[in-house]
Amino acid sequence: MEAAREIVARALAERAAGGIKVRQPLKKLKIKNEKFKIEKELLDLIKEEVNVKEIIFDDKIEKEIELDATITEELEEEGMTREFVRQVKDLRKKKGFTPKDRILIYCTFDEFKNKKQILEESGADDLIVKKENEFSQDKKEIKLFGEKHYLEIKNL
């Protein structure tokens, strides 16, 4: 467990140095030292904490750990989906909604590839695209793919 904590701490420090949010998944984490070959459960925990798809042991890398910071279109979409769901959940909390409350999501962003996942994870019945001028004062400004958008939720 101590080795796992050390790996997580180093990987998160490398993410921070690169300005990569933890919600943004990355493809892989390379680990140099074979002494860190630990049980599968701990490797799974490291993958989850660092948010990487796979862990590779490679004694040819220079540092103890190395993150592959290449963000593919798929990884970017997954990160954006996670961030959007987080924003919706934050709004739910601010409005005092319970997890049982069903909602509608309104947003100016219309290029969701993971709409079904967003609806499931946020407890929403639908995601409806609106124009900026159609939002109430209750809207929240968010950033998706580096662009400003608006988000609003309503209880059913």
Question: Mean pLDDT across the chain, nearest whole number?
Answer: 91
Letter string b/e over residues 38-52, b meaning 16 or more CB atoms within 10 A of that residue's CB: beeebbebbbebbbb
Q: How confident is the model at residue 145 (pLDDT cuts 50, 70, 90)?
A: confident
Tokens of 75: 């990884």
Domain boundaries of the chain, sorted by first residue: 2-67, 73-155
pLDDT for 154 beyond 70:
yes
**pLDDT, tens digit, for every residue of 51-72?**
999 999 988 999 989 999 999 9
Give how far the C-alpha of residue 39 lies from the chain's centroid of Cα atoms, to the nearest Å: 25
User: Length of the chain in residues, anyone?
Assistant: 156
The partner residues of 92 in beta bridges, in order of sequence, read none
Letter string b/e over residues 99-111, b meaning 16 or more CB atoms within 10 A of that residue's CB: eeeebebbbbbee
